[in-house]
Structures are given as structure tokens and as C-alpha cells.
Structure 1
Amino acid sequence: MLRISIIVFAATVMLAGAAYADPIEGNWKTQSGETAAIGGCGSAFCITLKTGKHAGKQIGQMKAGGEGNYAGSITDPADDKTYKGKANLNGSALKMSGCVFGGLICKSQNWSKQ
């Protein structure tokens, strides 16, 4: 009986964890057509490329700021330069931005949920 209770408890905890996943988590199609995976890593969300020339490379880290907004850092995988990053989630669309000079110069991409 104890064994069954432990199994039921473990299954409940696993299902509850999936139900509370942040909407930013999952696979995203980048503007250039690659797939990026966003998942929890400590107190932030790590962004890792899954396909393309730089597959397996972590290209960013974001923390939730509320109301679909995230802030952190984003790395251009082509030149390994890291920028102040932000993301805005709106349904199945994610706008990613990287900025320099205190936000004076920014580049943005629109990603879509896969």
C-alpha cells in the first residue's frame, strides 16, 4: 500500500510541475528558421539552439518580469557577442531583442511557438 501511495504521489507531482510550466518554455522557430529550446535553468530560462550551424549552443538567459515580459542576456551565435536582452511573449509569438549602448541600438527578431 505504501508503494502505491508513493507512486501516486510522484505522478501527481510530475503532472503538477508540467501544469505550472511557464508559457515561454518550449521550442521556438527563430526568424532564420532554426529551432531554439527555452527551458528552466535555476532561477532563469536558458535559450539553446537545437538546429542549424550552432546547434547545442546556449544563446541566452532570461528572467520573468511579469505580464509576458522577460529580461536578461542574448548572444549572437555567429560572433559570440552578448547583449542586454529582452523578450515579450504574446500568445504564440515571442519578440526577442538585443541592445547595446543602454538601449540606443537594438535588433529584434520575431519567433513563433512550435
Structure 2
Amino acid sequence: MKTALIALAAIVGMAGIAAADPIEGRWRTAPDDNGNSGMIEVVPCGNAFCGTLIQAYDASGNPMESENVGRMIISEMQPHGGGEYRGRIYSPDRDRTYNSRVQLSGNSMAVRGCVLGICRDGGTWSRAN
């Protein structure tokens, strides 16, 4: 009986480790100042989450070349409860990194960031399937 309980506890523990965090996955950004958007892949990195631009899109939604593909856009992102995460987000159109706060709600992520006291709405990103 004791062995069965230990095995069950190990299985439950491993299932918790295998479960993805809600922020993990692919996210389509809101259009930037130029109308361009991107696909960001968010994965665990250390004790936080990071996101890399894996595809850029022009204002018409067509894939485009970008020197930022492969660049880390999200860094140091950590959960703060209730679907809120805080970290840093790089904005290619402004060439700035913002201290950011995101709020997850289902398959949407509201993004907001500040740098040197200037804050900007980063729009709502959508989870990609």
C-alpha cells in the first residue's frame, strides 16, 4: 500500500511539472506603429518566461522578412497571480525595451509597458493555434 501511494504521488507530481503555464505557446502580436505584427513563441527560460519572434507579418498579414526574427522579444516574464505577468518586452518598431505587464484572459493577452515613465498600450495579442 505504501509503495502504491508513493507511486501515485510521483505520477501526480510529474503531471504538474508537465502541465504548461498559460502564457506558454505562440502569440500573434497586435499591429505596431507601422501596421506590422509578429508571431512570438513563449517558453520557460530559467525561473521566468521568454518569447522569441519566429515570424514577422506586414500590414496586410503576409509573412515578411525581418532582421528581428529570432530575437528575444519577451524576457524575465514572471507570473503574479490572476493571469498577470510582469517582465520586459522589446518593441522593434520603437527599438525600446519596456518594463511590461500583461494580463491573460482566455486566448487574449493585454500588453502594457513603460520606459522612463512613458507608458504605452501594446494592444491585445491573440493565442495562435
Contact kept in structure 1, 2:97 and 2:115, CA below 8 Å: no
Query: 1:99 Cα deviation (Å)?
Result: 1.1
Q: Write the letter of the residue equivalent to 1:27.
A: R
Q: Hey, what does 1:84 align to over in structure 2?
A: 99
Distance 1:96 1:112 in 2: 11
Say what the alpha-carbon RMSD is for the aligned residues: 2.0
CA displacement at 1:95 relative to structure 2: 0.8
The match for 1:110 is 124
C-alpha distance in 1 between matches for 2:121 and 2:83: 19
1:24 lines up with 2:13 in the alignment: no
Aligned to 2:69: 55
Q: CA deviation at 1:79?
A: 4.2
1:97 positional shift: 1.3
Q: Are residues 1:44 and 2:44 paired? A: no
- Matched residues, number: 100
SS at match of 2:21: coil
Moved more, 51-60 or 35-44: 51-60
Q: Which amino acid aligns with 2:50?
A: C
Q: Return structure 1 stretches of 4+ with deviation > 4 angstroms.
A: none
**Structure 1 residues 55-85: Cα deviation after superposition (integer angstroms, max 9, x where no partner):** 1110122111111000011111234321111
Name the amino acid aligned to 1:73.
R
Tell me the distance in 1 between the aligned counterparts of 2:52 and 2:81.
22
* TM-score (normalised: structure 2): 0.69
Other-structure match for 2:5? none
- 2-structure distance, mates of 1:110, 1:60: 15
Q: TM-score, normalised by structure 1?
A: 0.77
Unpaired runs of 5+ residues, structure 1, are: 1-11
Shift of residue 92, structure 1, vs aligned partner: 0.5
